């Protein structure tokens, strides 16, 4: 999968179409300095992977990109983050609008206590994406198919989403996120609860999404990062240690910490 994409990817890296540009980002939780001066450019139409040991700030940084940290009262974000050359922390930017554009799949599955159908239809309804019921039905079906869960739930769309298994819930949340057609999709360990078959289906989805969108994925699986991403960022203790093309990170890391991590010596 990775090899097949390689040519096209490398072409594009040259002309670097930057979707998200983060400069000198600092994040504090009260006194804790969770993200230390991170600058990173995330390109459009490819998959960027964030890797790093637990607690190093991957989720925190990801949540800065759609201002989800605004919901945590003690969290303070400094620095600039531009998406499509627009400062997302500018006062004029409406975080609600931003989050419609930058969708997110959370680390822990969090389906609403509603039916499976309503879970997926929630975003499209809010944003008025469907003109009528049958259009909405189509959107829901398409999203569930892309979330690789359609076959399992097509006969019980009225059952509560909270009644699904953990892995099914995670795929439901993926379907829910793609149903609103975001331009950027942030996925925080989307496959941590999935079996290998569902994982490969989700990876296929990620592959498909990158035709049009940019995808940022946090993962603890080196293989997954290598399989799906074109660029990889390695975080360690709140610092961005290394950010480069995935192949380079995995074959020829510049920093010794990166090397120890991917070979399994720290983490």
Partner 1 sequence: MSTTLVVLIVLALGAAGYVLGRGRALREVNGDQRRLHSLPSYYGTNVAMKTVVPAMLLMGIWLLAQPLIVETSVRGDLQDEAERQNRSVSLMMSDVRRVANGLDVAVSQGVMTRERASNMRTEFTDVRERLGQAGVALGSDVTSAVLRAAQRYRAISGRADLLRTGVVLALALAGLAFGLRNSTAGYRARNVVESGIKILLILAACIAILTTIGIVLSLVFNTIEFFRLYPASEFFFSTTWSPSFGGGSELGIIPLLWGTLYISVIALIVAVPIGLFAAIYLSEYASKRTRAIAKPAIEILAGIPTIVYGLFALLTIGPLLLRVFGDQTVGWMDAGTAVMTAGLAMGIMLIPFVSSLSDDIINAVPQSMRDGSYGLGATQSETIRQVILPAALPGIVGAILLAASRAIGETMIVVLGAGAAARLSLNPFEAMTTVTAKIVSQLTGDSDFRSAEALVAFALGMTLFVVTLALNVAALYIVRKYREQYE
Interacting residues toward ligand ATP by CB under 6 A: 29, 32, 34, 54-60, 72, 107
Give the per-residue contact string, 88-117, with Mg ion (x = CB under 5 A; - = no).
-------------------x----------
Q: How many CB atoms lie within 10 A of CB 254?
A: 11
Which of these segments, 46-54, 67-75, 193-201, 222-230, binds partner 1 (CB under 8 A)?
Answer: 67-75
Q: How many CB atoms lie within 10 A of CB 134?
A: 9
Cβ proximity to partner 1: between 149 and 249 the closer is 149
Q: Segment 29-58, which members bind partner 1 (CB under 8 A)?
A: none
Asked if 111 touches partner 1 (CB under 8 A), the answer is yes
> Are residues 176 and 123 in contact, defined by beta-carbon separation less than 8 angstroms?
yes
Q: How far is the CB of 251 from partner 1 (least distance, A)?
A: 35
Asked if 159 touches partner 1 (CB under 8 A), the answer is no
Q: Tokens 């398409």 — which residue?
A: 142
Backbone angles phi, psi at 213, to 5 degrees: -120, 175
Residues near partner 1, by CB under 8 A: 66, 68, 71, 73, 96-101, 103-104, 106, 108, 110-114, 122-123, 126-127, 162, 173, 176-177, 180
Residues near Mg ion, by CB under 5 A: 59, 107
């Amino acid at each position: 999968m990775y090899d097949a994409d390689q040519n096209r990817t490398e072409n594009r890296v040259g002309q670097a179409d930057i979707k998200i540009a983060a400069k000198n980002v600092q994040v504090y939780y009260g006194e804790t300095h969770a993200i230390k001066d991170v600058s990173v450019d995330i390109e459009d139409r490819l998959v960027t992977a964030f890797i790093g040991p637990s607690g190093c700030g991957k989720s925190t940084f990801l949540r800065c990109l759609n201002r989800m940290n605004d919901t945590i009262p003690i969290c303070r974000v400094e620095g600039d983050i531009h998406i499509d050359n627009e400062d997302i922390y500018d006062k004029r930017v409406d975080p609600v609008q931003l989050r419609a554009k930058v969708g997110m799949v959370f680390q822990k599955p969090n389906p609403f206590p509603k039916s499976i159908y309503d879970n997926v239809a929630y975003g499209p309804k809010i944003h008025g994406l469907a003109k009528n019921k049958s259009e909405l039905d189509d959107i829901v079906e398409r999203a569930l198919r892309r979330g690789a869960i359609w076959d399992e739930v097509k006969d019980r769309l009225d059952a509560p989403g909270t009644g699904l298994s953990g892995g099914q819930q995670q795929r439901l949340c993926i379907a829910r996120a793609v149903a609103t057609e975001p331009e950027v999709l942030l996925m925080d360990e989307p496959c941590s609860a999935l079996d290998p078959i569902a994982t490969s289906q989700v990876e296929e989805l990620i592959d498909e999404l990158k035709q049009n969108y940019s995808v940022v994925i946090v993962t603890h699986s080196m293989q997954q990062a290598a399989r799906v991403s074109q660029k990889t960022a390695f975080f360690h203790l709140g610092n961005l240690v290394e950010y480069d093309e995935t192949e380079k990170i995995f074959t020829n890391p510049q920093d010794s910490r990166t090397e120890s991590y991917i070979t399994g010596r720290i983490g």
